[in-house]
Structure 1
Amino acid sequence: MKILITVVLVIVLLLAAAEFGLRTYLRGQVADEMKTSSAEQGLELSGDPSVSFGASPLLLGLVQGKISDLTVELPSSLDISYLDSDSSRPVISGQPATTMTINDMSLSEDNPVIGDLTLDTTLPDDYLLAVVQQSASGDSADSPTDGLFSELFQVTGVTSNTDTGTLDFEISGGLATLSMTPTVVDGALSFTVADLQILGMSLPDSLIAGLTDSLTQSVEKTENLDITAASVTADGLAVRLHGTDVRMDDIATEVDSATSSGASSGSNSGTSSGVGDGTTGTNASLAA
């Protein structure tokens, strides 16, 4: 009996060591791949990627041909600079920090299929301001061409207001404040005007409509990912996207398409990686 117990203990210890070693190896491989991929795109991560696995044994998962749980936290690579030191002409590169939660990833094919994918990201206030200003200045490939902003009406600040659950946009240094509530409609990001405070003047309809369009382009639904939640937090606009049966080779494209507004060069040749299907809903009408 003592010999049997000893044998069992040895087997358990070997399996535990193998499990620990496998987790450590795969964790390092995934993190290194992400750092390498970011570097190849000329992006600098603000920290090291974090990779973790769920409670299910990886060894058993490999035998069964799938990984049950995998969470990847990709640090921010967001960089905002300004063309000719003009604070109204931002240049955006990279993307905000993103957390990917992967469940039931099949390993039986060369291009694994993720059964369930959730992507969480938070767009900080300075990023939202840059997106809106980039659109207004014409330095974005998606910039409206109908005279969105006049010299008088310009967005000069963005504040995430957790008390009201709104994004508060400062117009022309305090001339007006436009508060907008994020919502999700048919898997796409939408905004509704919740409050408008202005000093004896009317805001152009094109400003409100253009501002809304710019915001919806900051995060877009993609072919395989729908937006399922949006809320205002102390850190900015938190957005969750979800998809099923997503191919591993498509993840990079999906994440970039969903969360990156694109970078603009100094010659107005900016490109946009926001390639949503154009169904993002907007609602710029005043709330009743």
Structure 2
Amino acid sequence: MSRKPSAFASVSRRTLVIAITVVVTLLATLVVGGEAYARHRLAGCISDQFEQEMGSTIDVGFGFKPLLISLVDGKISSVTVDSEGDKFGPAVGMVVHAKFDDLEFADNGGGTVGGSSADVTWSNDGIKQTLGDLVTGVRSSSASNMLTLDVLGGLAQLQVQPVVRNGAVEIETKSARLLGIGMPTDLVQGIVELFSQSLQSYPMGLKPTEIKVTDNGIDVELAGGRTELPANQGNKEMSC
């Protein structure tokens, strides 16, 4: 003869189910809150350190991998970094998208990066603004792989070609004409040197491996190996 469950047993089971549900909900809330805190803390730490090197405000991304454990062991498998604002170092209008792999952080805020890669895009308008008032227009051609700079309101034209040589970008002058005659050497050299310097200041051990002239400007590919991260001197509380 079967026995019906007592009212006390039914209440006990309901209480147990409610208790388990509450515990699971609290644990889920703690995990979600902890993950949000970990991402905020690590993003702030990386921003502080990388912005010192990159010379630009940046946006940091981690993907979907949980980062709570990274607060304990100080290791992050990969980080994506995108430049923000209208300047990157001395260059106006330069946009940088970078990926850093195998990051390890020390207690003093320093650390290492195992390897890195980056894509750089620099627009013709940004190049013009960077080169100053003497350059009044910039046009680029993917077909010729050259840029034409209008100088002194178009009275003169300077044609240049960027190339990667020995791990650095060099700007080669292909022609320089002022009203059909050669432009002054000092004027040409000053423009070319500023152009070149703006394409050589890359952070975190990144070096150019390829450069392409497009119809809208310049694209540069960068790569880097193991690099030391300097200790963060500004805010020790934000060490990772």
Partners of 1:21 and 1:195 in 2: how far apart?
61
Question: Equivalent residue for 1:101?
Answer: 99
CA distance in 1, matches of 2:82, 2:161: 27
Question: Which of these residues, 177, 185, 191, is aligned with residue 205 of structure 1?
Answer: 185
Could you state the TM-score of these two structures normalised by the residue count of structure 1? 0.53
Report the Cα offset of residue 130 of structure 1: 3.5
Contact 1:76–1:98, Cα closer than 8 Å, also in 2: no
In 1, Cα distance between equivalents of 2:162 and 2:210? 9
Structure 2 partner of 1:142? none
Which residue matches 1:225? 206
What's the counterpart of residue 160 of structure 1?
140
> Counterpart of 1:230 in 2: which secondary structure?
strand
Equivalences, count:
203
Partner residue in 2 for 1:236: 217
**Structure 1 residues 233 and 31: alpha-carbon distance in aligned structure 2, compared to 1, 3 A threshold:** farther
Report the residue type matching 1:73 in the other structure: D
Within 2, Cα distance between the matches of 1:242 and 1:213?
23
Matching residue's letter, 1:68: S
The residue number in structure 2 matching 1:68 is: 77
Give distance in 2, aligned partners of 1:183 and 1:22: 48
* Residue 29 of structure 1 pairs with residue 41 of structure 2: yes
Letter in 1 for 2:84: P
Shift of 1:202: 1.9
The structure whose residues are more often strand, as a share, is 2
Structure 1 residues 250 and 109: CA distance shift in structure 2, 3 A: closer
Return the structure number with greater relative CO, CA threshold 8 A, min gap 6. 2
2:159–2:174 CA contact under 8 A, matched in 1: yes
Percent identity for Structure 1 against Structure 2: 27
Q: What secondary structure sits across from 1:192 in the alignment?
A: strand
User: Contact 1:123/1:237 (CA < 8 Å) preserved in 2?
Assistant: yes
**Displacement after TM superposition at 1:65 (Å):** 5.1
Match of 2:87 among 63, 70, 78: 78
**Secondary structure of the structure 2 residue equivalent to 1:173:** coil
> Structure 1's 200 and 133: CA in aligned 2 closer, same or farther, altered over 3 A?
same
Cα drift, residue 172 of structure 1 = 2.5
Q: Which runs of 5+ in 1 are unaligned?
A: 1-10, 80-91, 135-153, 253-288
Please report the RMSD computed on the Cα atoms of aligned residues, expressed in angstroms.
4.3
Decide whether aligned partners of structure 1 residues 204 and 44 sit closer, same or farther in structure 2, where only a CA change above 3 A counts. closer
Give the whole-Å Cα distance in 1 for the aligned partners of 2:39 and 2:95: 18
Q: What does 1:269-284 correspond to in 2, within 5 Å?
A: none
Distance (Å, rounded) in 1 between the aligned partners of 2:225 and 2:78:
14
Look up the equivalent residue of 1:164 and give its one-letter code: S
Indicate conservation of the 8 Å contact 1:122/1:235, yes or no. Answer: no
Task: Show CA shifts across 1:145-166 (max 9, x none).
Answer: xxxxxxxxx4322223344332
Gaps (5+ residues) in structure 2?
Answer: 1-23, 234-240
User: Relative to structure 2, which stretch is displaced further, 158-167 or 178-187?
Assistant: 158-167
Note if contact 1:117-1:246 (Cα within 8 Å) is conserved in structure 2.
no
Distance 2:50 2:201 in 1: 22
Task: Tell me which residue corresponds to 2:131.
Answer: 132
Question: Which AA in structure 2 matches 1:218?
Answer: S
Secondary structure of 1:209 counterpart: helix
CA distance in 1, matches of 2:207, 2:91: 23
